[in-house]
Amino acid sequence: MVHEDWVDLPGMVSALIGTSAGTGVAVALGASEPERVARVADVVQEWWIEELWATSPTNWPPCPEHPDSHPLQAVVAVERAVWACPTGGRVHHEIGALPAVRT
Ligand SMILES: [Zn+2]
C-alpha cells in the first residue's frame, strides 16, 4: 500500500493499493476505528479478488458456513471490525486475526 492522498478533501486520508495505480482507498478520519478498519479491509479484499483471481482462490476469507459460495464480508458489528457471512450476518473472525495467505 502506498500512502498517496488521491482524495483532496478535509478529514479524509487515502492510499493506493498495489503497484499499479488502479485501486485506492479513502477513509474519513471522523469515522470510528472499527469503521475505518472495516472500510480498508473491504477495499483490500476487493482489490485482492480483482488482482489475483486468475492465480489464487477468490473467496478469501472463506465463509465457514458457505465455503463454496462466497467470501466473508468486512463489517462493523458491536463496535468491532469483523468478518461476517454476507447472507446470514453471523460473525466469524475479528479483522486482523486471520493468518496471512501465501500466494
Ligand atoms: Zn456465508
How far does the centroid of ligand 1 lie from the alpha carbon of residue 95, in Å? 16
How far does the centroid of ligand 1 lie from the alpha carbon of residue 9, in Å? 36
Residue-by-residue DSSP string for 79-95: TEEEEE-TTT--EEEET
User: Per-residue pLDDT tens for 22-81?
Assistant: 788 899 999 999 999 999 999 989 888 888 778 877 788 999 999 999 999 999 999 999
Query: Cβ(39)–Cβ(48) under 8 Å?
Result: no
User: Per-residue pLDDT tens for 81-97?
Assistant: 999 999 999 999 999 99
How far does the centroid of ligand 1 lie from the alpha carbon of residue 77, in Å? 16
One-letter amino acid for residue 93 of the chain: H
How far does the centroid of ligand 1 lie from the alpha carbon of residue 94, in Å? 16
How far does the centroid of ligand 1 lie from the alpha carbon of residue 82, in Å? 14
Q: Side-chain half-sphere of 80: how many Cα atoms within 13 Å?
A: 11
| Helix, strand, coil % in the chain, rounded to nearest 5 | 20, 30, 50
How far does the centroid of ligand 1 lie from the alpha carbon of residue 62, in Å? 8
How far does the centroid of ligand 1 lie from the alpha carbon of residue 66, in Å? 5
pLDDT at 94: 97
pLDDT at 15: 87
